[in-house]
Amino acid sequence: MPTVQRSIDINAPIGDVFAAATDPNRGPEWNPNIQQVEAMAAPIGEGSQWRQTAVAMGRPVQLTCTVARFQPPSYGELVISGEQQGRTITRCEELDGITRLTQALEFVMPGGMLGRVVSGMAENMLGRELDQSLRRIKMTLELEKGSGNGSGSTE
């Protein structure tokens, strides 16, 4: 299964970073490809499930998201099913007063030659989208915290 992984350092408490990155209701804030999230009541935990509409390869797709593991404030795992399949893993770790947020996206591609060609393009596109999403989380949380000057790096 192809995987895209990125990290960014955020000048905000680990609990705030984890809560924001794993809140399905805030997903459209971070990722403009998420068009709609079915109302999701907090708090979320293992077994929580919701539906969302996202854009994949230029077309809307219906997805069901299920929380497989939820260990605040450091680890969350989301299984995605429906018109697209995959998994999102979120990790947070505290490093000298900042929080390193790492997200990995694993996705299933069609088989055969078409799958191999599309897989490379999808990995590049998802990598760019994940970088942008992490930067949005960083900017928003640092502004909410009132710091705005934390160190940040993407891998």
Q: What is the tens place of the pLDDT at every residue in 109-147?
A: 666 656 666 666 778 888 899 999 999 999 999 999 884
Domain limits at 117? 3-145
Q: Is 94 within the bounds of a domain?
A: yes
pLDDT band at 30 (very low <50, low <70, confident <90, very high): very high
The two counts, helices (H) then strands (E), for the chain are: 3, 7
**pTM metric for this prediction:** 0.86
Please state the domain count of the chain: 1
Mean pLDDT (whole number) for 73-100: 95
Query: Is 151 part of any domain?
Result: no
CA separation for the pair 44, 38 (Å, rounded): 14
CB 76 within 8 A of CB 22: yes
For 130, the enclosing helix (H) or strand (E) is helix 112-145
In a domain, 90, yes or no: yes
CATH number at 122 reads 3.30.530.20
CA distance readout (Å), 147 to 46, 92, 118: 32, 19, 40
Residue 150 lies in a domain: no
Q: Is the pLDDT of residue 78 over 90?
A: yes
In a domain, 152, yes or no: no
- Has residue 153 been placed in a domain? no
Q: Can you tell me the distance from the alpha carbon of 27 to that of 19, in angstroms, rounded to the nearest whole number? A: 11
Give a yes or no: residue 7 inside a domain. yes
Does 46 or 151 have the greater pLDDT score?
Answer: 46
